[in-house]
Structure 1
Amino acid sequence: MMRKGSKIPQNRFTIILVVAIIIFFICGIYISETAYSKTNVKNGVIDLSQWNQEEIISLAGKWDFYWMKFITPDDHKKGIEPDVSVTVPSAWTSYKINGNQLPGKGYSTYSLHVIGAKAGEPLSVRINPFSSAYDLYIDNKLVISMGTVSSREAEYKAKFQVATADFIPETSDFDITIHIANYEYSRGGAWFTPFLGTEKQIHDLDKNIFAYDGILIGMFLILSVYSLFFAALRRSKKMILFFVLCIIAIIRTLVYGGQLIYDIFPDASFDLVIRLGHAVLITFPYVFLITLDLNSLPGISKQVWIAYLIYTIIAISIVILLPLYYLTQLIIYFGFVTLISMLYGIHKEVKDEPTPDNLFLLTGNVLMILCMVRDALFQSNILLFNGQIEYTPTGFLIMLLLWDFAFTYEYELIAKERMQLLVDRDKAIEHANRMELKFLKSQIRPHFVNNTMSTIMSISRTDYSRGRKLMVEFSRYLQNCYEVWGLDDLVPIEKEVAFIQSYLALQQARHGDVLSVEYDIDDVNFSIPPLMLQPLIENSIKHGLNNNYAGVHIKIYIKKKDAFVKVGVKDNAGGMDENKVNCLLNDNDGSTGIGIYNINERLKKIYNTTLQIDNSEDNCTDIYMLIPDGREAIK
């Protein structure tokens, strides 16, 4: 997501961290690929005489291959020649015998003669899954049986699982013979590299790969729980999709690599595992692009989304319904769509503004593509690698961690922006309150002060004592008025009552017998926002005088009512029609309406309530507010 003020040159730490991750990743690949002996298999023979037993031996190289035959070491010794010498690892669909390409279905024998071993010294062999059932013999002894190997399809049963076996060679020379049958997958054969080593080396390798996959799955689980928590907290669609990506990564790690799925579900069928792996490959690009689209990509067109949705639905249907032999022929196309989708996402990110969060997204996606391409080339036997682990789960983890960092960075920026908005809003509200208070106070100066002073001067000419008392009331009124510093402050109700009593004493002096006042105040102990009653009283006086009533009677009351205190002003000014009420409450009145409107807005903000205007009694208008008793104002 584009953020101003977060350009790459201002974030050197981000660049350094990204470069460090890339270097660490490349070093990890190098160490993984160079941790094995360079001893090679040539012409169906491997010489172990120079092996120092410090490294595991890769059995990649040229093996003897027999098509549609199950050959034993004894048969080999009788001089039965192989049909062809083939490269292991590779699928037999890449072989030609007498100019004819071999089909995916069939059975065969791979044979390797080992020389230079130390007789009587324990060794161990590790076999990654062959396609798609096999028996492995050391000389004539069966040491690994995976699935049911048969020359007849009806008796064959596939099983796709990593296996290890310990054995003790009786002589320095021995034969490794592998019988493989495949009638279910589109490619058959020894398509992964076998490894040979001491018992400790192979067992340690097994433990390390198991621990490695376990750590990956644990990290994915932590990220998935974190994303769910974050999605619930922020109501974020992006983090829900991030959770889905974590689940996809978990399934991908369980199915491939060390195949922990068989440790969790020992009876998982070959058919289910293969279909599950294809389903993950199909759903990933759609979720990947949606997640990026919510974060930073310039809008992907509706047509593209429709095309991806149709593709995903059709492809998932194929995974469910199509026979496995034909389904596995389509994996290259599914992988191609995934690659194109990720490249498309990278293309969009490159076009976006180069902010730190986008840099992390881009780095994660590039590393993920490198891992996927490496594994695709490895599994297709296009390029040969010595490494025993798949890099796609590692790339997945790095990508998700970088994405998480990018999303967190983005949310931090959003949080800071929102915090700043709140600060600005509070400042604006505080400023508005000050201006409103200033406005209310200013209303006193122009007309009320002049009128009051004229009234006091006039009365003082004939009744000096009364004029002096009115001057005291006027002084109290002004003192109470200018002691108010904020409209959200609360003052004791006694102080507010004293304030309006001074105000009404001055108004009665001005209007004489035309204005009469009644107080009905319960003994209650609570506080009220300042300047809440004066505008109501002023409205009643003006309303009454404008209607030419011979006498205006005003009743100020404060009554306890259930969990509230009812504070109001009632007059006999003839009531108000609905239009007049709406004008007062919506700031559409040209005279005293602004005071009534301000009180109404302050009640909403402070108590989440509103001013009430009741015309139920004849010739009476009752304007009141219900203030919670014993409760704090809503902040």
Structure 2
Amino acid sequence: MMITNLQINALAAVVILLILANNRNSPVCPPENRSFRLLLIHLLILLALDSAMWSVNLQQFPGARMLNLIVNYVYYAEQSILGYLWGMYSHRLTRLELTPQGRWLHRLPLVTGLAILCANPMTQSVFVISADNVYSRGWGIWGSIYAVCAFFYLIEAMLLAVFRLSHLSDEERKDGWNLLVGSALPVLGAVLQMLWYGVTAIWSFGALSVLILYLNVQSRHAAKAEKELEQSRISVMLSQIQPHFLYNALLGIKELCDTEPGKASDALEHFSYFLRGNLDSLTITRLIPFTKELEHIEDYLYLEKMRYEERIKIEWKIEYKDFMLPPLTLQPIIENAVRHGITKKNEGGKLTIRTEQNEDSILITVRDDGAGFDINEPKNDGKTHIGIENVRKRLEMMCGGALMVKSEKEVGTEVTIILPQRRGDPGENYSGGR
């Protein structure tokens, strides 16, 4: 039976590794994707620990019993953590937002289960390792409470799935059915494992669950997000090539041709690079180096300064450059700062662009001391907000980033982009040169 269990775990691990590999190669990152990836990683760890338990149990070598104890404690702790992660994934998938107080209450089963596990050396309510290194389950009231805490989040996910089936749209009902089946399988495995000792079924069934969720939920969400991303990319590219901007830029270049031919040549070069950067964004489906985005910003600001001259002052505080971001992330934000902030004041203003790195993220800040606006006041044209929301959506889908806006009338606006630290593949960068 031990060999069979090890083979089942190995097959389940291969399935999870294949899902992880395919999931990593996806160019988009739906909101629940990060929770799903964590779920896969911890399920893989749990399968490895389960295999280690079967391998060490009954063995007689120096330190075998101690090793068996350690592996079991880690296994049961990981089981509680995985249950909690399953709950977080189900919340993301069903779009259920908890209040700060609700989040603490939601962690209560996890904390209770871990506390019971910590007391196991005295109570032996979760599991027992005999003196001759034989594993057996613990019983009693505390063991039952631990089991309820460990599987609480799976049962919660099933209830959330039923809610989806009865209250939401047809598309979301598909998610509900898959979440219901996916959450029920590990519970069924737990029942089988309780009835037939020696059968490992809980998390091998869990591997089948994540396969169902990946094929029927994650893949569909990724395809939908990729389509939205494509539409978003086209929308933002077209928004940057506006007739009035092209007219003003070309008119400025014509005037320079009559007065300063050398500057006209430089301006025409920046103008052509700016157009190429916008057109390139249609074919780029991956993150690009920040240096490429920076070149595009410099081309845009050169053209705007040609028109507004000293009314636009620029301060660069680029402390960190070695990172990736979605194409056309900063340029729409900087255009908003120039068009709706600085140039709305007769005297103009200053634009500050800053990048910095901390332990777990990269921060990009765009600040202007222009006209500002009331972020709670609805805009009649909606153009500025549409551009910001477009960038926010692409940040979230492509790299799990976030965008925050602070503004005050007659004081200015500050936009902060937060990019989580990730080890991207440089080979995914597009290779256009200058």
Q: What TM bracket, shorter-length normalisation?
A: 0.3 to 0.5
Q: Which has the higher contact order (CA 8 A, sep 6+)?
A: 2
- Which structure has the greater CA radius of gyration? 1
Q: Report the structure, 1 or 2, having the larger strand content.
A: 1
Q: Report the structure, 1 or 2, having the larger helix content.
A: 2
